[in-house]
Amino acid sequence: QAIQAINGYTNMTAEEFTNMIFQKIDVNNDGELTLEEFINGVERDEDLMELITKSFDLSNVLKVIQSG
């Protein structure tokens, strides 16, 4: 939920958001993400890379806190 709020994905539930991420990068469809799947998936998906990058950029966190 925190990653969603920081990145503006508030139009879906946390479960829907997680399912979207798994659909993008769980290449063997086993319902689990290995570190290798995660890294490869993020590297291949430009939108996901941006999402992860924003999540670790604390200036976005500060903006969310300031806006209430």
The residues spanned by each domain of the chain are 30-67
Going by pLDDT thresholds of 50, 70 and 90, the confidence category of residue 13 is confident
Burial class (CB in 10 A: 0-12, 13-18, 19+), 16: exposed
Judged against a pLDDT cut of 80, whether residue 21 lies above it is answered with yes
> Could you tell me what percent of the chain has a pLDDT over 70?
75
State the pTM of this model. Answer: 0.57
pLDDT at residue 30 in the model: 92
